[in-house]
Amino acid sequence: MDLKNEFHYKLQQSIELLQHVFLNYEEDEIFLSFNGGKDCTVLLDVVKRLLPSHLNYELSLRCIYVQPVDPFEEIEEFVDHCKNHYNINIETMRGGIKSVLERICQENPRMKSCLMGSRRSDPYCELLKPIQETDPDWPLIMRINPLLDWSCAEVWDYIRENNVPYCCLYDRGYTSIGDKSNTIPNPHLKRIGECGEYTYLPAYQLQEADKYERAGRM
């Protein structure tokens, strides 16, 4: 299987997983965890742009922006842009994903599943399953990981082929974005300009991206 066909196979697998989820859970039992990063943006795009034609109805998706302690202004602006672009209400909840999950489950006892943009190259995700319950010391909810087997390069291919919006920080050399306290441009993208100044290539030009994607996270 060539790379293009392999990617289309992965995309179809992601759509089929999402179909399964929305056919087995009510819409008020599902939410999408969003942080303004490229992976969850691709997931949002797949859910809003591709999935309705497979389900034969429009989705009413709950989307929650898990806001870090010291967020980038560019991420905040991008979240607002996504609200308009996808015609969706994105709620903001501040804190770590665990504390946000606790609040969501307390406030919404019917909540059963969380769509996430996790990939196997992310920390602690190597052995993760596409559908898997949270760990015992976490709020009980089903984690849905439609992009689990996508590579970083495939995420960028999807973004660029489909004109998916993304945060401008990625054009400045950021490849994995947390908050201001733990994120810098990826050193593997650093270049020296003609006048000796430092510049950074955009994130989609990172070589061996799955290996070096988080090199800018401290």
Examine the domain organization and report whether 125 and 166 are in the same domain.
no
Identify any residues that bridge with 31 across adjacent strands, giving them in sequence order: 62, 114
| Average of per-residue pLDDT across 37-53 | 96
Residue 105 located in a structural domain: yes
pLDDT for position 42? 98
Examine the domain organization and report whether 135 and 171 are in the same domain.
no
Examine the domain organization and report whether 28 and 119 are in the same domain.
yes
Residue type, 182: N
Examine the domain organization and report whether 34 and 80 are in the same domain.
yes
Between CA 181 and CA 59 the distance in angstroms is 36
Examine the domain organization and report whether 121 and 199 are in the same domain.
no
Examine the domain organization and report whether 60 and 33 are in the same domain.
yes
Examine the domain organization and report whether 135 and 182 are in the same domain.
no
> What is the percent of the chain with per-residue pLDDT over 90, rounded to a whole number?
88
pLDDT for position 194? 80
Q: State how many domains the chain has.
A: 2
Examine the domain organization and report whether 45 and 107 are in the same domain.
yes
User: Tens of pLDDT along 184-215?
Assistant: 999 999 998 888 888 999 999 999 999 999 99
Residue 218 located in a structural domain: no
User: Tens of pLDDT along 93-127?
Assistant: 998 889 999 999 999 999 999 999 999 999 989 99
| Average of per-residue pLDDT across 19-26 | 95
**Residue located via tokens 């996808």:** 86
For 72, the domain range is: 3-144
Report the CATH number that the domain containing residue 18 is assigned in CATH. 3.40.50.620
Residue 67 located in a structural domain: yes
How crowded is the C-beta side of 174, counted as CA atoms within 13 Å? 22
Q: Minimal CA–CA distance to 123: which of 210, 33, 42? A: 210
Between CA 192 and CA 196 the distance in angstroms is 6
Phi, psi of 39 (to 5 degrees): -70, -50
